[in-house]
Amino acid sequence: MSEIQSSVQSYALGHTPEAFQRLLVQGQLFNPFTRRMLSDAGLRAGMHVLDLGCGLGDVSLLAAELVGEQGSVLGMDTSASVLQLAHERAQAAGFSHVAFLVGNIDEMALTQQFDAIIGRLILMYLQEPAAMLRRLAKLLRPGGVLAFQEHDIPSQVDATLPASPLWQQAVTWVTRAFQMAGVESRMGMKLCGTFLEASLPAPHLRYEAAIGAGPEWAGFEVLAGVVRDLLPLLQKFGIATLEDIGIETLAARLREEVEGSHDSRRSSRPGHASRRRIGVDRAGHRLVR
Ligand SMILES: C[S@@+](CC[C@H](N)C(=O)[O-])C[C@H]1O[C@@H](n2cnc3c(N)ncnc32)[C@H](O)[C@@H]1O
């Protein structure tokens, strides 16, 4: 596999080991939404699917479960290193009907027809998403599915309960860095307009968001990870300094600000133990600490 340099340079989050780790954790947060979205969009056994900007393959693997071995999934990404890991994950899952292809979506020369073309957090990076959708529609068999899951990053300022000024600050850093780098941070809210601009029917839309309200929430690590990936751009555009950001402790401070606020509310209630926390472990057992 070869790395495609021209597009990699324009991918704002980079392809570092830290970025891959963050993508994995982010997948745990988003995969339940994505699975529902793909299923509701009509992915069924036997379908042949193209997953654009597949990264570590989370979406490809979810699609592979839905289409089964009678179907197939082709994941495409510009990064050979990310695809190597995606390939290993597909093998570990025992999926022989998933393949990966190094390629730039903007320049792809596929002639093959698909039953579904899908992607998560990819249209936001494209210069001309409507033109891309128009081209993709031509690769679909009659009655085929186009299904995308995209961010609305600015509205994420409200994604913790209670609200956290540090969280809001970090979301603002990310929004501004993306804006300066030409990445569409509101792609989710622009999906309908983009489909219409591509002369496609208006899509069925839904809005889902993970909300941080418990100590185990992975969103603190994900946001801090995105900020880490964006450090070069944040400094280059003068949005924040390394000192402002304090990247090594950012995730912990985000968690502490949200959770500390819960704790102070708890401790202000008479008779409530201030450090007592309730959560759910991986096996679904209720934990009280
Ligand atoms: C935010 S990641 C999302 C990965 C995956 N879809 C997920 O949700 O876990 C975006 C991915 O799109 C890839 N990408 C960006 N621009 C691309 C392009 N023009 N062609 C192919 N892949 C691209 C990046 O290399 C990166 O792996």
**Average pLDDT of the residues in 26-44:** 96
Pocket of ligand 1 (CB under 6 A): 7, 11, 23, 27, 53-56, 58-59, 76-79, 82, 104-106, 120-122, 125
pLDDT of residue 263: 58
Mean pLDDT computed over every residue of the chain = 88
Residue 68, pLDDT above cutoff 80: yes
Position 118 pLDDT exceeds 50: yes
Contacts of 5 by beta carbon, 8 Å cutoff, 6+ apart: none
CA of 13 to the centre of ligand 1 (A): 10
The answer to whether 197 touches 231, Cβ cutoff 8 Å, is: no
**Residue whose entry in the numeric block shows the structure tokens 């597949």:** 54
In a domain, 156, yes or no: yes
Closest-CA residue to 236 (of 12, 37, 46): 12
Same-domain check for residues 246 and 155: yes
pLDDT exceeds 70 at position 278:
no
Does the pLDDT at position 206 exceed 50? yes
* Structural domain count, the chain: 2
Query: Which residue's C-alpha comes closest to atom 24 of ligand 1?
Result: 53
Residue 168 lies in a domain: yes
Report the C-alpha gap between 49 and 68 in whole angstroms: 11
Amino acid in position 253? R
Are residues 242 and 223 part of one domain?
A: yes
**Token pair recorded at residue 249:** 């402790």
- Residue at 171 is within a domain: yes
Say if residue 162 is in the same domain as residue 236. Answer: yes
User: Based on the domain organization, do 35 and 143 belong to the same domain?
Assistant: yes
**Is the model's pLDDT at 277 over the cut of 70?**
no
Q: Rounded CA gap, 199 and 141, in Å?
A: 17
How far apart, in whole angstroms, are the C-alpha atoms of residue 156 and residue 123?
A: 18
- Residue 201, pLDDT > 90, answer yes
pLDDT-based confidence at 276, cuts 50/70/90?
very low
Taking CA atoms, 217 is separated from 28, 210, 259, 281, in Å, by 10, 9, 10, 12
Does residue 61 lie within any of the structural domains?
yes
Q: Residue 252 pLDDT > 60, yes or no? A: yes
How far, in Å, is the centroid of ligand 1 from the Cα of 19? 12
pLDDT at 265: 56
Cβ neighbors of 169 (< 8 A, separation 6 or more) are: none
SS3 assignment, position 122? coil
Q: Same domain, yes or no, for 136 and 245? A: no
How far apart CA 131 and CA 114 sit, in angstroms, is 18
* pLDDT value for 262: 62
Tell me whether residue 77 is in a domain: yes
Asked which of 46-60, 135-149, 212-226 is least confident by mean pLDDT, the reply is 212-226
pLDDT at 222 over 60: yes
Give distance in angstroms: CA of 209 to centre of ligand 1.
20
How high is the pLDDT of residue 82?
Answer: 95
Domain assignment of residue 17, yes or no: no
- Provide φ and ψ at 158, rounded to 5°: -95, 15
Q: Which domain holds residue 119?
A: 30-149
The per-residue pLDDT for 9 is 46
Backbone phi, then psi, for 14, in 5-degree steps? 75, 175
- 36 inside domain: yes
Q: How many CB atoms lie within 10 A of CB 287?
A: 10
Residue 93, phi then psi, degrees to nearest 5: -80, -5
Tell whether 13 is covered by a domain. Answer: no
> What's the confidence (pLDDT) of residue 8?
40
**Arithmetic mean of pLDDT, 143-155:** 97
